[in-house]
Amino acid sequence: MDSNLLARIHGISVMLFLLTYVIKTILLFTSKDMLANYSKKTKVPEMIISTLFLVTGIWLFVIVGGIKTLYIIKLVFVFLSIPIAIVAFKKQNKGLALLSLVLIVGAYGMAEAGKNKPFIPAKVALSGNATAENSTGAKLYFENCAFCHGADGKKLYRGAKDLTISPFAYDDIVQMVREGSKGKMPGYTVTLSDDEIAAVSKFVQNLKTPMGPQE
C-alpha cells in the first residue's frame, strides 16, 4: 500500500476516533441513557475505526523508520487512552473518561505538531546544509520513498535498495525517480514536478554523501 494512502486512511480514522470519544464523553456527562443507546448502535463501527486507527498507525511506524521521541510518546498516549476509555465508559466514570480524552487529544496534538517537520538524517543535518530545499526534498522523500527505503534510506522493504551505499550519481538518481524501475519502483514524472524530482533526488544523494553543490 502507498504510504500517502496509508497516511490518509490513518488520518481519517484518527478524526473519526476522536469524534467518537468526544461524543461519548459529552453523553456521559449529559445523559447516561443516551450514552448506552449510542454505544450499542455504534459498537461495530467503533471497533472498525479503532482497528484502522491502531493498525495503520503501527504500520506507519514500522515501515517508515526513523521514529522520533515525539512519536513514541504519542504511541504511549494512545495505548494508555484506549483501556482507560473502555473502563471509563463501562463504569460510567467521568474522571477516567476525561483523562482518556485528554490523552488521545494530546496524542493527536503531537501528531499535528510534527506533521510538517520532515525527518532529516543526522549526517545531512550535521553537514550544515539543512536548507529549505533539503527540507522540501525530505518531505517528498518521506511521502513517496520512505515506505520502502525507510527514513534513513537503509530499510530494504519489498526489495528496495540501501540508498546509503548506492553507486548512483545525481543524474542517475534523477532518472530513476523519473522513470522508476520496472516491477520494483514506480516513476514519478506524473506525480512530481521537475523541481520536486530535483529536490528529492538531492536528498537521496545526501543519504550516502555529505551535502555539496551540484554541477
Partners of 185 in beta bridges: 181
% of the chain residues with pLDDT over 70: 75
The predicted-structure confidence for 12-45, as pLDDT tens digits, reads as follows 888 898 899 899 999 999 998 999 999 899 989 9
The C-alpha torsion from 83 through 87 and 89 to 93, rounded to 10°, is -130
% of the chain residues with pLDDT over 90: 20
For 101-162, the three-class secondary structure string (H helix, E strand, C coil) is: HHHHHHHHHHHHHCCCCCCCCHHHHCCCCCCHHHHHHHHHHHHHCHHHHCCCCCCCHHHCCC
Domain ranges of the chain: 3-113, 122-205
Q: What pTM value is reported for the model? A: 0.54
Residue type, 141: Y
Q: Are 80 and 43 in contact, with CB atoms under 8 Å apart?
A: no
Backbone angles phi, psi at 19, to 5 degrees: -60, -45
Q: Are 188 and 197 in contact, with CB atoms under 8 Å apart?
A: yes
- CA-closest candidate to residue 75, choices 106, 97, 47, 48: 106
Q: What is the pLDDT of residue 69?
A: 64
For residue 28, what is its C-alpha cell?
456521559
The predicted-structure confidence for 143-153, as pLDDT tens digits, reads as follows 788 878 877 78
- The rounded distance, in Å, linking the Cα atoms of 171 and 83 is 52
Q: Domain 122-205: give its CATH superfamily.
A: Cytochrome c-like domain (1.10.760.10)
Q: Are 155 and 199 in contact, with CB atoms under 8 Å apart?
A: no
- Please tell me what DSSP assigns to residue 209: S
